[in-house]
Amino acid sequence: NSIPRIQFNSNIFKQLLIQWIVLCHISFRQVEQLSFCLLLSYLSSISTSYTAIPQCLPCSGTTVCNWTMQLFLQQKQALIQLLESHYILHFSFNLWTSGNHLVLLELVAYWINKD
């Protein structure tokens, strides 16, 4: 039983790195830390594509921030196109005050298929 080798893809690496940073609330600047670079260097040394990871590794937090914004804008545009082409979107609002004078707002979105 051998483990199948995965071909390194820099776009997938960027996407996974951004996903980890965003979902785990990691500072963009953590990619500049020596310990992070050493971890990836170690992983790349045991990989078949040992030069791919260091070449793709961002040099600064600004790079990660830019990657994150680019991916966000791409995903936002894809979602807008999906909603414009296939769905009608309706909103329902409800506003009330609780017994302890806490103001509450409820927003419900309904996606209705055009077909």
Q: What angle do CA 59, 63, 69 make, to 5 degrees?
A: 160
> Quick check: is 110 in a domain?
no
Name the more confident of 14 and 51: 14
> Quick check: is 30 in a domain?
yes
> Quick check: is 100 in a domain?
no
**Are the CB atoms for 21 and 30 separated by under 8 Å?**
yes
> Quick check: is 103 in a domain?
no
Domain count, the chain: 1
> Quick check: is 68 in a domain?
yes
* pLDDT at residue number 47: 62
For 47, the domain range is 10-82
Q: Is pLDDT of 49 > 70?
A: no
Highest-scoring range by mean pLDDT, 37-41, 62-66, 73-77: 73-77
> Quick check: is 27 in a domain?
yes
> Quick check: is 22 in a domain?
yes
Other Cβ atoms closer than 10 A to 15:
13
For residue 60, name the pLDDT band (cuts at 50, 70, 90). confident
Q: Is pLDDT of 45 > 90?
A: no
**Are the CB atoms for 86 and 114 separated by under 8 Å?**
yes
Smallest Cα–Cα separation from 43: which of 14, 8, 2? 8
**Are the CB atoms for 49 and 91 separated by under 8 Å?**
no
